[in-house]
């Protein structure tokens, strides 16, 4: 068996892996990338991008239903969501982007090797390619018909194998009645009654999508509030707005049992007050988090370490306990976000280049996790960065808080996007921006202004002195900061 030699090898081609490979190539490092399924990983093929295509279809559907609000005559009674075509569009978007990654690999002279990698040592991996490398979210044991085994040696490796849907014993997905995110975004017909278990970003996005196109959706959340990582004020407002759209949201509730029928499932669940209810649904989406894909890569053959949850441990430069091996993205400590993985990919690539004397180590800046944004693409959208109000108080800060309602913004009124809240949190002593928490139309787009300000360690004076263009939704950033000073204009 021949062994190919590279300076660097990236395992996994998601938004962390392919970005790392491109940056390595830019720095003049001979690089290959190993992918067992599709280039682009979960994000481009079954996650971030295709789900946003689904949600855009749902948003468009709702906008058409409300055409009278825009002065357009339309018989909404004949309006129907074509689930098959919505899914086909989403899959087309994913295919186009995956093809784009292939082009980028070719442009940057990065060799793409298809197959599943396992470490033989700190400097060598064995790659087994399969006849069926296109099933998302499964382990190697799920594939049949191995074709070829080859070996790769490299001076450095970057593990970017991502994560898959977490499973709860007794409630495992079967792909038909009990779904993961993969099956949830590829349904050919609309489930009339749908249960979504979990109200994090994945769960609430699917709940929002199916509710918008006509399903009767119930969300089951074991914690006391939905989107529990968000600021409490945003979380409570989100629940109010989603309920007004028709979502049935049950917090403090948990599963008791599943009973499967031929084409439906009877779910027994316990409510917050202890009452146990039994209800029949067409489908159930399990959205209870993710687990890292770290157990099948034979990391024990190296000096790299994992914790009890199989999360690979790294330093601030993403280097593991094995000096030759780096790890990035969802296989490492959270938050598990595509944009974090991409940024980590660049840091890891530049650190490797520095070790090879091809880049200045002084130019490498580790991630400040307080500056990582979180975005949820429901209608309305949710976006946040930094400390919540509760966390800031817990840390002992004396706060100045500004709030602004989109009802006071001209562009929001003209766009019929008047629901929500823009909330900014400052340190009263220093004026430092501690956090920003937004819910409303298109907030995932203009939260970037807060991100730049926070990264540059800006204060409320920087925001107050900035002239925001009119009319834009971003003016609400200015108004919320003005409110923290008692100077708000349009509210």
DSSP string, 219-247: EEESSSSSSTTS-HHHHHHHHHHHHHTT-
301 Cβ contact list (under 8 Å, min separation 6): 118, 119, 120, 121, 122
Classify residue 259 as exposed, middle or buried by CB count within 10 Å of its CB (0-12, 13-18, 19+).
Answer: exposed
Residue 131 burial (CB count, 10 A): 9
Strand extents, DSSP E, 352-420: 374-376, 381-386, 399-404
pLDDT bracket for residue 3 (50, 70, 90): confident
Does 374 have pLDDT greater than 70?
Answer: yes
The tally of domains found in the chain comes to 3
Does 261 have pLDDT greater than 70?
Answer: yes
87 Cβ contact list (under 8 Å, min separation 6): 54, 185, 186, 187, 188
pLDDT of residue 466: 96
Backbone angles phi, psi at 417, to 5 degrees: -125, 65
Q: 212 with 264, same domain?
A: yes
Contact 231, 389 (CB under 8 A): yes
pLDDT of residue 151: 93
Which tokens belong to 277?
């209810």
CATH of the domain at 152: 3.50.50.60
Q: 412 with 399, same domain?
A: yes
Question: Pick the catalytic residue: 38, 437, 470, 490?
Answer: 470
- Of 363, 392, 418, the residue at which a domain comes to its end is 363
Residue 114 burial (CB count, 10 A): 17
| Mean pLDDT for the stretch of residues 139-156 | 68
pLDDT of residue 262: 95
| Mean pLDDT for the stretch of residues 297-307 | 96
Classify residue 33: in a domain, yes or no: yes
Which tokens belong to 223?
């914690």
Classify residue 143: in a domain, yes or no: yes
Q: 95 with 183, same domain?
A: no
C-alpha 480/C-alpha 199 separation (Å) is: 27
Classify residue 217: in a domain, yes or no: yes
| Mean pLDDT of the chain, nearest integer | 93
Q: 30 with 133, same domain?
A: yes
Q: 393 with 476, same domain?
A: yes
Cis peptide before 471 (omega within 30 of 0): yes
Contact 163, 330 (CB under 8 A): yes
Residue 261 burial (CB count, 10 A): 9
Classify residue 62: in a domain, yes or no: no
- Of 363, 398, 418, the residue at which a domain comes to its end is 363
C-alpha 474/C-alpha 486 separation (Å) is: 19
Catalytic status, residue 470:
yes
C-alpha 341/C-alpha 336 separation (Å) is: 8
Q: In the β-sheet with 193-197, what is the strand arrangement from edge to edge? A: 178-179, 283-286, 193-197, 216-221, 248-251
pLDDT of residue 47: 77
pLDDT of residue 130: 60
Q: 333 with 451, same domain?
A: no
Q: Which range, of 74-83, 121-130, 210-219, averages the lowest pLDDT?
A: 74-83
Q: 253 with 296, same domain?
A: no
Classify residue 71: in a domain, yes or no: no
C-alpha 80/C-alpha 75 separation (Å) is: 11
Look-up: residue for tokens 């996650």? Answer: 47
Q: 410 with 468, same domain?
A: yes
**444, HSE (Cβ side, Cα atoms, 13 Å):** 11
Measured CA distances, 56 to 49, 62, 153, 196, 219 (Å): 11, 10, 44, 20, 21
| Mean pLDDT for the stretch of residues 126-150 | 56
DSSP structure class, residue 159: E
Q: Percent of the chain having pLDDT more than 70?
A: 96
Classify residue 308: in a domain, yes or no: yes
Classify residue 299: in a domain, yes or no: yes
Range of the domain at 208: 178-288
Q: How many helices (H) and strands (E) does the chain have?
A: 14, 22
- Residue 276 bridge partners (DSSP): 270
Which tokens belong to 135?
């099933």
Contact 470, 415 (CB under 8 A): no
Classify residue 312: in a domain, yes or no: yes
| Mean pLDDT for the stretch of residues 265-282 | 97
C-alpha 425/C-alpha 445 separation (Å) is: 19
pLDDT bracket for residue 369 (50, 70, 90): very high
pLDDT of residue 40: 84
Q: 430 with 480, same domain?
A: yes
Look-up: residue for tokens 């609430």? Answer: 204
Residue 471 burial (CB count, 10 A): 14
Selection from 489, 490, 484 nearest residue 403 by Cα = 484
pLDDT in tens, 60-82: 999 998 888 899 988 767 788 99
pLDDT of residue 449: 96
Q: 21 with 142, same domain?
A: yes
Does 133 have pLDDT greater than 60?
Answer: no
DSSP structure class, residue 333: S
Measured CA distances, 373 to 186, 219, 379, 460 (Å): 28, 24, 18, 19
pLDDT in tens, 8-60: 999 999 999 999 999 999 999 999 999 998 888 777 777 788 899 999 999 99
Please report which helix (H) or strand (E) contains residue 206, including its range: helix 201-212
Bin 344: left if φ > 0, else alpha if -120 < ψ < 50, else beta.
alpha
Which pTM value belongs to this model?
0.92
Which tokens belong to 491?
């509210």
DSSP structure class, residue 432: B
Q: 306 with 283, same domain?
A: no
- Of 236, 262, 288, the residue at which a domain comes to its end is 288
- Residue 119 bridge partners (DSSP): 125
pLDDT in tens, 161-208: 999 999 999 999 999 999 999 999 989 999 999 999 999 999 999 999
Contact 191, 179 (CB under 8 A): no
Q: 109 with 240, same domain?
A: no
Does 136 have pLDDT greater than 60?
Answer: no
CATH of the domain at 416: 3.30.390.30
């Amino acid at each position: 068996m021949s062994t190919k030699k590279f300076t660097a090898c990236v395992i996994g081609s998601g938004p962390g892996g392919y970005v790392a490979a491109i940056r390595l190539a830019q720095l003049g490092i001979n690089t290959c990338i190993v992918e067992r399924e599709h280039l682009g990983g979960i994000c481009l093929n079954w996650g971030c991008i295709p789900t946003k295509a689904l949600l855009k279809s749902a948003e468009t559907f709702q906008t058409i239903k409300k055409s009278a609000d825009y002065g357009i005559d339309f018989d909404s009674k004949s309006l129907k969501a074509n689930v098959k075509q919505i899914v086909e569009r989403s899959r087309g978007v994913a295919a186009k982007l995956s093809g784009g990654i292939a082009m980028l690999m070719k442009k940057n002279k990065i060799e793409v090797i298809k197959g599943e990698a396992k470490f033989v040592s700190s400097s060598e991996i064995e790659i087994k390619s399969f006849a069926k490398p296109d099933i998302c979210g499964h382990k190697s044991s799920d594939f049949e018909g191995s074709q070829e085994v080859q070996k790769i040696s490299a001076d450095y490796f970057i593990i970017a194998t991502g994560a898959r849907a977490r499973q709860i014993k007794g409630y495992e997905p079967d792909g038909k009645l009990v779904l993961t995110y993969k099956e949830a975004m590829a349904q050919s017909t609309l489930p009339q009654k749908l249960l979504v278990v979990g109200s994090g970003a994945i769960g609430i996005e699917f709940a929002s999508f199916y509710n918008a196109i006509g399903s009767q959706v119930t969300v089951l959340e074991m914690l006391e509030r939905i989107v529990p990582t968000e600021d409490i004020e945003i979380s409570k407002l989100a629940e109010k707005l989603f309920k007004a759209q028709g979502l049935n949201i049950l917090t403090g509730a948990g599963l008791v049992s599943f009973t499967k029928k031929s084409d439906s499932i009877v779910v027994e669940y316990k409510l917050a007050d202890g009452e146990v209810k039994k209800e029949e649904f067409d489908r159930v989406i399990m959205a209870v988090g993710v687990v890292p894909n770290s157990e099948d890569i034979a990391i024990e053959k190296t000096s790299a370490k994992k914790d009890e949850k199989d999360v690979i441990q790294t330093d601030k430069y993403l280097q593991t306990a094995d000096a030759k091996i780096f790890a990035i993205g969802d296989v490492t400590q959270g938050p598990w976000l595509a944009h974090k993985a991409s940024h980590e990919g660049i840091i890891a690539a530049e650190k490797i280049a520095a070790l090879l004397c091809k880049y200045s180590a002084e130019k490498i800046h580790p991630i400040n996790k307080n500056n990582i944004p979180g975005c949820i693409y429901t209608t309305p959208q949710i976006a946040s960065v930094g400390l919540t109000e509760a966390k800031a108080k817990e840390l002992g800060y004396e706060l100045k808080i500004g709030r602004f309602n989109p009802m006071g913004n001209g562009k929001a009124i003209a766009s019929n996007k008047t629901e929500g809240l823009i909330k900014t949190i400052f340190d009263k002593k220093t004026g430092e921006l501690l956090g920003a928490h937004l819910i409303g139309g298109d907030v995932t787009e203009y939260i970037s202004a807060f991100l730049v300000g926070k990264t540059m360690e800006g204060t409320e004076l920087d925001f107050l002195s900035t002239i925001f263009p009119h009319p834009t939704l971003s003016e609400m950033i200015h108004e919320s900061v003005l409110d923290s000073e008692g100077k708000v204009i349009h509210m």
